[in-house]
Amino acid sequence: MANDSYRVDLDRLDEVVKKLNNVLKDMQSASGKAKSGTHLPDGALGKGFEEERELRQTHGEMKHFIEEYVLKKLEGLIDDLQKKTTRTHGAYQDQEQSTSNALQNGQSSTQNKYS
């Protein structure tokens, strides 16, 4: 019957956490580039024509949108997923340890928790 049970691969969960941390670092790098590396100063597109002001204004609006509604939300989503995966890893690790201890003591893991 033990072969029919499920098993969680803690090493794989740990690998997911590490990969999510790397993605989060990359996202923060992209966010920094979006904030500081995309400045469009006055006169960069030329001077003395009406569309220049409109282009700079539109650029600023798009820059704000990308920073606030794309990058910030993606960073939040990835950070949340990383934290939840870390908690899940910890919970499974704790349960595995509890089960191992219970088996060594000749008890079931549920007896330890609820007796």
Give the pLDDT confidence of 45-98 residue by residue, as tens digits.
788 888 888 888 898 899 899 888 988 898 899 999 999 999 999 998 898 888
Q: Is the pTM of this model over 0.75?
A: no
Domain, as residue range, for 53: 11-16+48-95
pLDDT over 70 percentage in the chain? 87
40: left (phi over 0), alpha (psi -120 to 50) or beta: beta
Q: What value does the mean pLDDT take over residues 30-59?
A: 81
Predicted confidence at residue 114, as pLDDT, reads 45
- Contact criterion met (CB below 8 Å) for 21 and 85: no
Evaluate whether residue 35 is within a structural domain: no
H or E stretch at 16: helix 10-36
Beta strands in the chain (DSSP E): none
More confident residue, 64 or 41: 64
Predicted confidence at residue 3, as pLDDT, reads 55
Number of structural domains in the chain: 1
Backbone φ, ψ for residue 49 (5° rounding)? -135, 150
Evaluate whether residue 113 is within a structural domain: no
Alpha carbon distance 108, 89 (integer Å): 22
